[in-house]
Amino acid sequence: MCGFVAILGREQAAPGLLLGLQAIQHRGQDAAGIATLNGHGLHLKKGMGMIAQAVGDLEGLTGNAGIAHVRYPTAGVHATSEDAQPFFTRRMGLLLAHNGNVTNVPEVKEGLRKQGVHVMSQCDAEPILLVLAQELTARRASNHTKHDLRGAIAALFARVRGAYSVVLLMELEGERTLVAFRDPHGIRPGVWGRSEDGWVAASESVSLDVLGVEKAGDLPCGAALLFRLDREPELLEVAAPEPRPCVFERIYFARPDSRMEDGRVNRTRWRLGRQLAREWQAKGLDADVIVAVPDSSRPAAMAMAEELDIKHREGFIKNRYSGRTFIMPDQASRESALRLKLNPIREIFEGQRVLLVDDSIVRGSTMRRIVEMVRGLGPAELHVAIFSPPVREACFYGIDMPTREELVAARLQPDELADHFGADSLTYLSREGLAEVSGPDICAACFDGRYVVPVSAEERAQITANRRP
């Protein structure tokens, strides 16, 4: 999972890129980069770590157009600053960043190698960039037209499988152009808006919000939007759209104040909580207090409290500087960060029948540690409710759930998991309940194993081998 912000305007782009990028730091903590273009060429700063560490100040980042990116690695076991985005081709003058995951990287690399083009990084944004550059060159050496670009993106869709949203800066028909597109299924998100002096595209609408830009729409699936100064956006239709947006974005990754195709994420989490409340109540369970595991589960917990007429309380103090444990690079880091991240308030739990609400259970180590912490405070009962179905399958589209062996729900049933964690009960939202809220046209492969883009056994093995530990 990653996040990008792209700007094309009349003023200096770097300040807006930095501000917009900070709004989506939650999408990646591994690396970051900002690149700008002016009449003299490319200016680039990127490196490992959070935005402040990787980019530092904005000195030298001049130009009215640019792309910024935060990276959460799903490829590259030993990532370096060379894997940070954006990527640039000097010969073609293309600047590109993406969010998502390419599932057939070895095949794409081999196709490029046969044409004398070598991928130098472990990041799958580079193969996307090189394929696009190759396809553009095959159509025309320079002075590319919209027809060239449409053909190049169509060829990219045919050659590069997976899930990806892309932003690209290039010269098109003599004008600097911001190009933004998503694969035909639109699994990964993307939005755009009109600023006072130009255009902004980003992974989430919160980047637009901090820049004072109203969201104008979502990036199209299977098509490209062309943004140029003093002109309205132009749509290039490339492939028939079959939208299947990622439901895990709504459940966990996106900020609750972000707006996606199906509305504000906060509203979706609230509706999931209401549905879960009905399913939990049908089991004949009861509680004195509902406590959210911060932060993403708060809307669902409040909805459950309202639906069940049970009081909702803040039971944990969260260290705001600890980062997101799910996207940390290894299990030891996640466990250490959890001890720093959450501190329970004894009087909320002691002697109470407690219902803990969380968004999901992936590896299970975080929930087990939380239950251990709460059990130590002496609750009368401790129940756990999860406002998503059991995560039983790997994700190959940009979320680091690499193998079924790592997924605790793939090995244990809910009653067994409750015992494993030390809880009195564990209730997941049903798949039917998820469909009731989110509709059928979503990507929920991590729950049901129905992969929108087919992934062969060989590709699954390659992706797993190339994942972080």
Element (H, E) at 97: strand 94-102
Q: Is the pTM of this model over 0.95?
A: no
* Closest alpha carbon to 92 in 132, 121, 150, 46: 132
Q: Residue 102 and residue 82: Cα distance in Å, rounded?
A: 18
Q: Residue 403 and residue 152: Cα distance in Å, rounded?
A: 34
How does pLDDT run across 292-344, given as a tens digit for each residue? 999 999 999 999 999 999 999 999 998 876 655 554 555 555 556 666 788 99
Tokens of 198: 């130009």
Say what the pLDDT of residue 328 is. Answer: 52
Q: Residue 58 CB: number of other CB atoms within 10 A?
A: 17
3-state secondary structure 391-421: CCCCECCCCCECCHHHCHHHCCCHHHHHHHH
How does pLDDT run across 19-72, given as a tens digit for each residue? 999 999 999 999 999 999 998 899 999 999 999 999 999 999 999 999 999 998
Res 1 pLDDT > 80: no
How does pLDDT run across 192-210, given as a tens digit for each residue? 999 999 999 999 999 999 9
Q: Residue 53 and residue 151: Cα distance in Å, rounded?
A: 39
Residues in Cβ contact with 301 at an 8 Å cutoff, skipping those fewer than 6 apart: 273, 290, 291, 292, 312, 357
Question: Which band of pLDDT confidence, cut at 50, 70 and 90, is reported for residue 346?
Answer: very high
The CATH number fitting domain 2-244, selected from 3.40.920.10, 3.40.605.10, 3.20.20.150, 3.60.20.10: 3.60.20.10
Question: Which band of pLDDT confidence, cut at 50, 70 and 90, is reported for residue 379?
Answer: very high
DSSP state of 201: E
Say what the pLDDT of residue 143 is. Answer: 93
Q: What percent of the chain has pLDDT over 90?
A: 86
Buried b (16+ CB within 10 A) or exposed e, 282-308: eeebebebbbbbbebbbbbbbbbbebb
Say what the pLDDT of residue 325 is. Answer: 54
Q: Examine the residue annotation and report whether 246 is marked as an active-site residue of this protein.
A: no
Q: Residue 121 and residue 81: Cα distance in Å, rounded?
A: 9
Domain map of the chain by residue range?
2-244, 259-451
Q: Does 259-451 match 2-244 at the fold level?
A: no
The values of phi and psi at residue 424, to 5°, are -75, -30
CATH architecture under which domain 259-451 falls: 3-Layer(aba) Sandwich (3.40)
